[in-house]
Amino acid sequence: MSPEASFPAFDNVRLATTKDLARIATVAAAGFYWSPVFQFQRPYFADFPEDTFNSYFTEYESAIEDPGSVVIVSEDDVSEKDPDGLYEALRKVPSTYPRQDANGKIIVGVCSITLNSGSGRVGQFQPGGKHVRPHLTTGSSGVKMQQRDQHGCATEMYNKLSGPAKAKYLAGQMRLSTVAVHPTYWRRGHGSRLVNWCTRLADIDGVPVGVSAAPTGVAITVKAGFEEQERVWIADYKLKRKSANGGDQTEHDIPGLELWIGIRKPRHPQVRNVVQTDCPMNGVIPFWSPRPWVPQAEDLSL
């Protein structure tokens, strides 16, 4: 089996489709709300929750349609506490109302992965097969991104400060781009399942995988074997805004944050990555391509 034909087992995760986008946008907004990057880049989130929803909708739409990306989701039984996990303003966006699928399941976690440059997997994860599509600010649905929840200068500063480290460590690498879980379903293993699918894909392909993690994402990536390369401090800033009645301007401190740049080296594929088939060979075949294994220093240490 060629590497291009093998995938990590889809145990409790699946590839996302564009039909999932409303729920994915809800999960992303609800989860990322707790990340300091969200608070830093979207200081007007309470005033423009539809813009936050639409921006995640189009971001994940582009990723699902991008041949160089993979978007996977994790599902669970719908909880009656589902709406409690959304911040107050987001609850007012009608499209965030939870709708379970025919199996009674609902998406509770999402993860996007950028493939390494030159990957033989480009185009494998899109429902329509290979088709090259440029990065767009809106996906094929045409949902408009107004970004009134964001502070343009904050995003610019964020990109400027994090750019050199990202270029140094992450350019051209497979990358764990985003992972978010709906807060109602935290600590049930969804985040780990999504991250582990990404690291298993990297192991099958024998490539390193990088991440630029917010402080809220460091524990889960360290647990998955990512190692620190650099920490980047994104400085605080002051936000001037008019009061609700359009009166005097007030100044707010928006706290900075430390970004954690990590890389995980590829490991020997694990034997548990198998898929059941009707194959006469006992019904079980390895779900990765055999390739020579060169022992690394860490494999030999006692």
- We find the least distance from the C-beta atom of residue 178 to ligand COA, in angstroms, to be 7
Whichever of 31 and 206 has its CB closer to ligand COA, that residue is 31
189: left (phi over 0), alpha (psi -120 to 50) or beta: left
- We find the least distance from the C-beta atom of residue 239 to ligand COA, in angstroms, to be 21
Whichever of 60 and 288 has its CB closer to ligand COA, that residue is 60
Contact present, 68 and 120 (Cβ < 8 Å)? no
Segment 15 to 74, residues that bind ligand COA, using CB under 6 A:
31-32, 34-35
Contact present, 232 and 259 (Cβ < 8 Å)? yes
Write out the DSSP string of 107-152: EEEEEEEEPPTT-TTTTTTSTT-S------SS-TT------TTS-H
Segment near ligand COA (CB under 6 A), from 123-131, 215-223, 251-259, 275-283? 215-223
Contact present, 174 and 113 (Cβ < 8 Å)? yes
Q: Phi and psi dihedrals of 162, rounded to 5?
A: -90, -15
If you search the block for the tokens 């999504």, which residue do you land on? 194
Residue 40 CB neighbours (<10 A): 23
- We find the least distance from the C-beta atom of residue 194 to ligand COA, in angstroms, to be 8
Query: If binding is defined by CB under 6 A, does position 81 make contact with ligand COA?
Result: no
Q: Which of 171, 219, 235, 285 binds ligand COA (CB under 6 A)?
A: 219
Query: If binding is defined by CB under 6 A, does position 8 make contact with ligand COA?
Result: no
Pairing mode, if any, of strands 174-181 and 209-213? parallel
Query: If binding is defined by CB under 6 A, does position 133 make contact with ligand COA?
Result: no
Query: If binding is defined by CB under 6 A, does position 99 make contact with ligand COA?
Result: no
Whichever of 73 and 122 has its CB closer to ligand COA, that residue is 73
The tokens of 174 are what? 């497979």
Q: Which of 213, 234, 257, 259 binds ligand COA (CB under 6 A)?
A: 213
Query: If binding is defined by CB under 6 A, does position 135 make contact with ligand COA?
Result: no
Under rule CB under 6 A, how many of the chain's residues touch ligand COA?
A: 21
Segment near ligand COA (CB under 6 A), from 60-68, 90-98, 139-147, 174-182? 174-182
- We find the least distance from the C-beta atom of residue 133 to ligand COA, in angstroms, to be 25
Q: Hey, what amino acid is at 170?
A: L
Q: Which of 216, 229, 270, 289 binds ligand COA (CB under 6 A)?
A: 216
Q: What is the CA radius of gyration of the chain?
A: 20
- We find the least distance from the C-beta atom of residue 222 to ligand COA, in angstroms, to be 8
Query: If binding is defined by CB under 6 A, does position 206 make contact with ligand COA?
Result: no
Query: If binding is defined by CB under 6 A, does position 220 make contact with ligand COA?
Result: yes
Contact present, 74 and 193 (Cβ < 8 Å)? yes
Query: If binding is defined by CB under 6 A, does position 192 make contact with ligand COA?
Result: yes
If you search the block for the tokens 């502070």, which residue do you land on? 151
Whichever of 56 and 288 has its CB closer to ligand COA, that residue is 56
Calpha distance 172→224 (Å, rounded): 21
Query: What is the 3-state secondary structure of 49-101?
Result: HHHHHHHHHHHHHHHHHCCCEEEEEEEEECCCCHHHHCCCCHHHCHHHCCCCC
Query: If binding is defined by CB under 6 A, does position 177 make contact with ligand COA?
Result: no
The site for ligand COA (CB under 6 A) is made up of 31-32, 34-35, 179-181, 186-192, 213-214, 216-217, 219-220, 223
